[in-house]
Amino acid sequence: MNAPLVQLSGVTKTLKGQGEPRSILSGVDLTVHPGESVAILGRSGSGKSTLLSLIGLFDRPDTGQYLLHGNDIARIRERRAAKLRSAEFGFVFQRFFLLKHLTAMQNVSMALVNGQGWLPRRKRRAKVMAALDLVGIAHLAKHRPSRLSGGEQQRVAIARALVREPRILLADEPTGALDTETGALVIDVLHAATHRGCGLILVTHDHAHANRMGRVVRLTDGALVPERQGVFS
């Protein structure tokens, strides 16, 4: 079997808001291999987004180990974290965060402008169109978000996440703003990325969507508990 993409062991995180510091994660273990999909369930406020932000290197654990391709990155500095974020991860959120004055194509293209060094225009265009094609909306490339449905906008956002060919997709409630049928299509598109070797971590409240993943875990009392084992477990 391939080495894990992501391996968390004993990860803890306490958040200090305005009130008393609160332990959110008290010992999270999670391993994700290339091509594997994992759904994270958990009640509201259980810490799912906090965990995803640690995995996506927006924040660091207080204690515990985080191996990315076998390298311990639990305590790296922000400069290196930013590089890894753009090289390794694709992010999809409940809100689409599209720029409304730009077309679908231009929105996806922004991810290349921001993330990768200089790419000749023709190459950039080919990558963008390939990403839009992967999510089934190449024919909508010239449309602005206001002319797209919610599901189509989310697919633009997924194309924007995929265009840099991430090794891991992190999706935080990506269907939260969509109806059930449209949500299922978005899950199809995300899951298809795993066939190309991408790891997928999906945070969701929807059991039907969770059950489409290879493995389902639940965040409860600060730790992940298996709900259903998948092929890699």
Ligand X SMILES: Nc1ncnc2c1ncn2[C@@H]1O[C@H](COP(=O)(O)OP(=O)(O)OP(=O)(O)O)[C@@H](O)[C@H]1O
- Residues in contact with ligand X by CB under 6 A are 15, 17, 22, 24, 42, 44-50
- Name the residue nearer to ligand X (CB basis): 50 or 154: 50
| 64, 15 contact by CB (below 8 A) | no
Q: Go through the chain and tell me how many residues it has.
A: 233
Instruction: Give the residue with the Cβ less far from ligand X, 58 or 232.
Output: 58
- Smallest gap from residue 200 Cβ to ligand X (A): 17
Relative to beta strand 89-92, strand 168-172 is parallel
Strand 71-72 to 63-68 pairing: antiparallel
Q: Which residue is nearest to ligand X (CB)?
A: 17
Q: For residues 48 and 60, which CB has a smaller minimum distance to ligand X in the complex?
A: 48
Within 10 A of 23 (CB to CB), how many other CB atoms are there? 14
Pair of tokens at residue 9: 């062991």
86 or 94: CB nearest ligand X: 94
The secondary structure of 157-187 as a DSSP string is HHHHHHTT--SEEEEESTTTTS-HHHHHHHH
Q: How far is the CB of 227 from ligand X (least distance, A)?
A: 15
The residue with tokens 């402008």 is 113
User: Whole-number minimum distance, CB 24 to ligand X, in Å?
Assistant: 5
Q: How far is the CB of 127 from ligand X (least distance, A)?
A: 32
Q: What are the backbone dihedrals phi and psi of residue 201, each rounded to the nearest 5 degrees, phi first?
A: -115, 120
Closest CB to ligand X among residues 51, 156: 51
What span, in angstroms and rounded, lies between the C-alpha atoms of 112 and 98? 15
Give least dist CB 15 to ligand X, A: 4
